[in-house]
Structure 1
């Protein structure tokens, strides 16, 4: 079973969470504590954007949301809740610190003080298994860059993140005129997505940029998605690791997910 260490809450380096929650589109499968976005927002994303809206859709991967922050010049790996990765409850969260230290120079080159990069940590299979030999599999897949509390715009993200050697979550739609329905976005993504999933992809994430800022986000998760089906502590099954510290850390600069 996944090892769980004794946990006492230390300080959070950012003073709060490293990443928040995103609301769901209609007909998206909800988990505990999830909610649907307003119907009007859903129409903006999928049917009728406002003048000046830019709608972006990327693949939703299935792992643990983690982040890396530059805090006063120090590169700090963080759990989604905002604790240092080494203080995470589970081994796969703690191992994110090892991964980040192995790629310290890349994160240092990318992140300016006050910035943080959020992404999906795929080291341990959660509800979806991945083919680690796939051309575009990486154990950490970035999907958001922050400057302070604000999300960096898509153009800056897609310029800086791949240039630093990281492969972002695959983008299937980016348009400042046309929306895209969920079914059409999923068709573009393909049943198994772009990052080596060996079973139907978990879902997609919509993003609306407007007037020089990120206005709002929403996600769609397939109705039959089964959370945590590969997690030993939940299901009593054998762990399925996609990455361990003994594995080589890929570092080529690629643009498939940009």
Structure 2
């Protein structure tokens, strides 16, 4: 008998997404880890050679979720890999319902055994957004548990019309101060509070293909995780998006 969410099965047999190490100088929590200085320098100071390529994206502040294709079924998952429908959290339940509504879009993108990972922005965690697009922003596409390169991700998600994070930079290494300075006011996703930070993707040419070497992130020093969540404030939840807040036509791309 299932007695808690921890007792529910993981359809993928694993977590849907792991943790991303921080760059030096990033704000960290007790369970967070830093990227090694050598690897951080590749991302922020100097590439190893012409085969390296860096993509820097706006870091969004919501809940990490996934949608996986199992055969011809699409299942909504939390980051830990468990079914979102089983979560007592209202935002996760909304994610499950949203995935069910947009199943055909996910089927257009995903092959059996793949899963799309992104930020679910319905509930304000530490940043409020005046969203002008749907509340799901896709940032990784997993194939056999491996990240696909950024170019493949952005090409594939077009079939479903999904949003991806705003791009700050593509090309060589980019330091933290420059990356944050390049963010427009409110970021690319209309944050009403300070943008949380940025994510670096280091990719490398491998023969005729490209592999993702690593992801790393910077979170601004004054960021407080979950500062707007009701369990931390004692006040009602703040919603960036809810089904009743917008007419159905605005939910679709």
User: TM-score surpassing 0.5?
Assistant: yes
Which of 241, 244, 248 is the equivalent residue of 2:242? 244
Q: How does 1:6-155 map to 2 (within 5 A)?
A: 7=5, 9-51=7-49, 52-132=51-131, 134=132, 137-155=133-151
State the 4+ residue runs in structure 1 displaced beyond 6 angstroms.
Answer: none
Greater mean alpha carbon deviation, residues 149-158 or residues 118-127? 149-158
TM-score normalized by structure 2? 0.92
What SS class does the counterpart of residue 216 from structure 1 fall into?
Answer: strand
Structure 1 residue 251 displacement after superposition: 2.6
TM-fit CA distance, 1:8: 5.1
Q: Which runs of 5+ in 2 are unaligned?
A: none
1:164 to 160, 163, 170: 160
5+ residue gaps, structure 1: 253-258
TM-score by structure 1 length?
Answer: 0.90
Report the structure, 1 or 2, having the larger helix content: 2
What's the CA shift string for 1:105-142, capped at 9, x where partnerless? 1111111101110000011100000113x3xx331101
Question: Per the alignment, in what secondary structure is the counterpart of residue 119 of structure 2?
Answer: strand
Instruction: Report Cα offsets for 1:19-74 as digits up to 9, x if no partner.
Output: 00000001100013001100001100000111111101001000000000001221
Give, in angstroms, the shift of residue 190 of structure 1. 2.2
Quick check: 2:105–2:159 contact (8 Å CA) kept in 1? Answer: no
> 3-state DSSP class of the match of 1:207?
strand
Q: Does 1:181 align with 2:171?
A: no
Per the TM alignment, residue 241 of structure 1 is displaced from its structure 2 partner at its CA by 1.1
Return the offset for 1:191: 3.6
Partner of 1:224 in structure 2? 222
| Paired residue total | 243
Say which SS state the counterpart of residue 106 (structure 1) adopts.
helix
